[in-house]
Amino acid sequence: MDYQAVIEEVAAFARPFTGQGQVADYIPALERVAADRFGIAVADINGDVYGVGDWETPFSVQSISKTFSLALVMAGSQDGDDIWKRVGREPSGTPFNSLVQLEWEAGIPRNPFINAGALVVTDRLQTLTGDASTTLLHFLREESGNQDLAFDQAVAGSEADHGSRNAALAHFMASFGNLENPVPSVIEHYFWQCSIEMSCRDLATAGGFLARHGLRADGTRLLGAREAKRINAVMLTCGTYDAAGEFAYRVGLPAKSGVGGGIIAVVPGRCTLCVWSPGLDTRGNSVAGAAALDHFTTLTGWSVF
């Protein structure tokens, strides 16, 4: 497979979609990013990386961080299934910051990739490590090979200043006994995790363990093949907010998006991709990013179906 030629064709296809949609203006620090930026990177299972466009430009990972937090929780638990007693695995069908289902379902979030579910995962990682956000940052530095990865203090502060809905979600779950740590601590670590800045290169490389069935970049095992398969499955069904069905129909790959405009996608046994373009559709997914991944699977014929 000539990855470079493929992603150059993908980038050419996706360019007309850049600038469409709206940047995440409810987080003021993200509102200032130009909507017409575009980058794509692909990392094969051997660690070779190819890229086009703004593929080495750092951006705010936002909800993409939830995939890595979940992997660390599953890897750090004696029983990798422990977390599923506190969070479900079903698509939500409601916006990522919705409170509605929590009351119906006694404080158990529908899946780990909506905000409520990610707060539970962060809470568990905090219990396991004592410092959820720093643990995640160190892991991402190791897997990406980029020791310069850092939190964006402006983004974290912006989210904290406009984080009333997330605080409400956390307090509501705490009222049902579904948080182990104080709400302010959980929220703080959650905001710091979302504020990490990474490039398409960084994210494609860091996500390689999901394409390698749980093996880290250094060849050691983070997850068993069973656990890696399950994370990929939840990414497929829940990773693109309440548009996961449409995304699976168009793209056919496990993926996790973030409102910073990034999407990471996995071709198990072959490669990991990351695409970035800040213009979002009404569900919070990158317009050009989704178009690019759709074209990638069309060109290659690679999907999980």
Q: Cite the active site residues.
A: 63, 66, 190, 241, 259
Pairing of strands 196-198, 59-60: antiparallel
* β-pair type (150-151, 59-60): unpaired
* Torsion of the alpha carbons at 282, 284, 285 and 288, rounded to the nearest 10: 60
CA 283 – CA 293 distance, rounded (Å): 17
Nearest to 136, CA basis, from 226, 206, 41: 206
Give the strand order in the sheet containing 59-60: 59-60, 196-198, 150-151
| Phi, psi dihedrals of residue 209, rounded to the nearest 5° | -60, -25
Separation between Cα atoms, residue 156 and residue 146, nearest integer Å? 21
SS3 assignment, position 201: helix
Residues with Cβ < 8 Å from 165, sequence gap 6 or more?
A: 97, 99, 115
- CA–CA distance, 175 with 214 (Å, rounded to integer): 35
Provide the greatest CA pair distance for the chain: 53
Structure tokens belonging to residue 92: 């939500």
Closest CA to 116 of 136, 97, 88: 97
